[in-house]
Amino acid sequence: MTSYRHLASLLLCVLVSTRLRADEQPQVISNLLVPLVDKFKVPALAAAVIEGNRLTKLGAAGVRARGSEAKVELDDVWHLGSCTKAMTATLCARLIEQGKLKWDSKVGDLFADQAEQIHADWRGVTLEQLLSHRASLPSIPPLPLWLKLVGHDGSRDGREMLLSGGWLKSAPAVAPGSKWEYSNAGFMLAGLMAERAADKDWETLMREQLFEPLGMKSAGFGAPGSADQVDQPRGHNAFGIAMKPGKGADNPRGLGPAGTVHCSLRDWSKFIGLHLQAARGEYKLLNAESFQRLHAPQPIDDKSGYALGWVTLERPWANGSVLMHNGSNTKWYSVVWIAPKRGFAVMAVTNLAGLDAKEGATATDAAAVLLIEEQLKSAKE
């Protein structure tokens, strides 16, 4: 029989090894990003690598705002733009597992009290079609309604305008489900369906269902930081001018489910790690069926490769399929690549999108490529 002393020794070893894993810090790779900041003339860049369920590399270089000497730090907060979409889809999967929604929940059923505002052809649109950009909705609502949203300070009531504004009264130009078209408006409507089903606003649901369970303490909504001091990175407009947090620094709050989340890379890695591990067969927060639904293109023969909040692609360097997404509110840019068979993911963000988002896309893609090459090189050694 094992002695109490031996059991105590074993327990101590377990506690020490657990502490060592908890205290492990990522390798700081800021020096790798400095040349990219200079080359692509962005205010700042930050990037990270996840291996398995652990953040292994993290770096940040540049300044929080042009004209300021405040340098970006490792735990600064970044706007994720449309990388929010995977979070909204994951939130909906949580509500489905809780019996509050279904993948085939229909617009006509969730908004039966406003049936007169919804054309019959829109009533059959499902949650899954909205989350996969197959509901035939355009990227944003028509200009008159969009201008109302821009001038509106509300979040959930802003999304309610999609119905009360009469936008869905007319028949769709293309039958829902017949084609793929990227749609922020579709994710707004999906977020509104979640709000109706759970009787809570989307922001509260995100905190309760995702941020808190994953320990994403820095996560929030809109442009991060304070207007009276440069305490966080600031997004820059198309002319390269830093935007103070507040009205005009982000898309309207009603757009939230499509792209207004901000958080640190350290916290974003917790969400990305969740999906990396799930794609490798290790499940947390959701069951296997839910993750498989989120990661599978809908339908699978669609050339867009879009699943639910994720783009699925085949890449030789990944030894197969990858999950990726990028995002921008025209003032920030973010990108993430998940390579399940390689067991790692890379993320990159910058606080400038530029004209047609070219500067932001080019800089973050370069950072992602650099980190992917570093990972592949390490794997060979």
Q: Give the DSSP H/E element, type plus range, for residue 61.
A: strand 54-62
pLDDT of residue 140: 83
- In tens digits, the chain (381 residues) has pLDDT values of 333 233 333 333 333 333 334 457 999 999 999 999 999 999 999 999 999 989 999 999 999 999 999 999 999 999 999 999 999 999 999 999 999 999 999 999 999 999 899 999 999 999 999 999 999 998 888 888 888 888 888 888 888 888 888 889 889 989 999 999 999 999 999 999 999 999 999 999 999 999 999 999 999 999 999 999 999 999 999 999 999 999 889 999 999 999 999 999 999 999 999 999 999 999 999 999 999 999 999 887 778 899 999 999 999 999 999 999 999 999 999 999 999 999 999 999 999 999 888 999 999 999 999 999 999 999 887
Strand partners, 334: 327, 349
Alpha helix segments (H runs only) across 284-337? 288-295
Q: Which two tokens stand for residue 294?
A: 């989120």
The number of beta carbons lying within 10 Å of the beta carbon of residue 197 is 21
CATH superfamily of 26-225+236-380: DD-peptidase/beta-lactamase superfamily (3.40.710.10)
Residue 135 exposure: Cα atoms within 13 Å on the Cβ side: 30
Q: Distance between alpha carbon 313 and the CA centroid of its chain, in Å?
A: 17
pLDDT of residue 23: 52
Alpha helix segments (H runs only) across 177-246? 184-198, 202-206, 212-214
Query: Cα–Cα distance between 166 and 294 in angstroms, integer?
Result: 31
For 130, list phi and psi in degrees, rounded to 5.
Answer: -65, -40
Residue pair 332/351 in contact by the 8 Å Cβ criterion: yes
Listing DSSP states for 338-368 in one string gives EETTTTEEEEEEESB--GGGHHHHHHHHHHH
Q: Which of 182, 200, 85, 188 is nearest to 138 (CA)?
A: 182
Q: Which two tokens stand for residue 302?
A: 């669609």
CB-neighbour burial class of residue 76 (10 A; exposed 0-12, middle 13-18, buried 19+):
buried
- Give domain limits for the chain: 26-225+236-380
Residue pair 225/332 in contact by the 8 Å Cβ criterion: no
The number of beta carbons lying within 10 Å of the beta carbon of residue 85 is 27
Residue pair 28/11 in contact by the 8 Å Cβ criterion: no
pTM: 0.92
Strand partners, 236: 242, 352
